Structure 1
Amino acid sequence: MDDSEFNTLADQTLSRIDAALEACTADIDFELAAGGVLEIEFSDGSKIIVNRHGVAREIWVAARAGGFHFRRDGEVWRDTRDGAELMEKLSRLASQQAGESIVLA
């Protein structure tokens, strides 16, 4: 994958996460900033940061549970450590921090 393809896929993925958060009923604030950084803030003040990392061609997630790197594998982004799909892992991380079930599809 070249830089252009990575940037297109990463932007689409961040927009998809943004739309899923918009549809979510949980008490969270979020903002997708220019440059591909999505900041999700929970009622307890904790945050999850999702951003693209162009050099590695990965999407990175920083959460209370740790840092996670996702690399494109066919049609999905997979965690480089455990193979979890990005939206599933992000749903679990957000649910942990929110203290309620959050499903991002």
Structure 2
Amino acid sequence: MTDLEFMDRAEKLLLAVERCCDRINETSDADVDSQRSGGMLTLTFPDRSQIVVNLQKPLHEVWMAARSGGYHYRFDGDAWQDSKGAGEFFACLSRDASRQSGLPLEFAA
């Protein structure tokens, strides 16, 4: 994957997360604040806990930091998969966001 291809795919991932936050806030009692600064997206929950999604261009990875730990995702041709086998990005984000918000939240591409 070239740097340009990575940035295109990674940008789509960040936009999808932002859109999911908007949808979640419009359709539920969740209050997930999303703040973006360049290649970093921070989700803040009512209890002040955060999930940070950060692009790592030199490595062609997307990193996610949550209460449960830190994860590195690489695009496998179909989806963003954790480099250590923890699963697909959106499934993991949904799991961690649900735990941190106390509500069932679903994120998808």
TM value normalised by structure 2: 0.91
2:79 equivalent to 1:67: no
SS of equivalent residue, structure 1 residue 49: strand
Question: Structure 1: which amino acid aligns with 2:35?
Answer: E
- Inter-partner Cα distance in structure 1 for 2:35 and 2:101: 17
Structure with the higher helix share, 1 or 2: 2
Alignment partner, residue 12 of structure 1: 12
Structure with the higher strand share, 1 or 2: 1
Segments of 4+ in structure 1 off by > 2 A?
none
Identity across aligned pairs (percent)? 38
Larger mean CA deviation between 80-89 and 46-55 belongs to 80-89
Alignment partner, residue 45 of structure 1: 48
Alignment partner, residue 32 of structure 1: 36
- Inter-partner Cα distance in structure 2 for 1:73 and 1:42: 30
SS of equivalent residue, structure 1 residue 68: strand
- Inter-partner Cα distance in structure 1 for 2:40 and 2:32: 16
- Which runs of 5 or more residues in structure 2 are unaligned? none
Alignment partner, residue 106 of structure 2: 103
TM value normalised by structure 1: 0.94
Alignment partner, residue 91 of structure 1: 94
- Which runs of 5 or more residues in structure 1 are unaligned? none
Count the aligned residue pairs.
104
Question: Structure 1: which amino acid aligns with 2:20?
Answer: A
- Inter-partner Cα distance in structure 2 for 1:11 and 1:37: 10
Tell me the alpha carbon deviations over residues 45-82 of structure 1, each in whole angstroms, 9 at most, x when there is no partner: 11000011011100000011110000001121001112
CA deviation after TM superposition for structure 1 residue 21, in Å? 1.0
SS of equivalent residue, structure 1 residue 92: helix
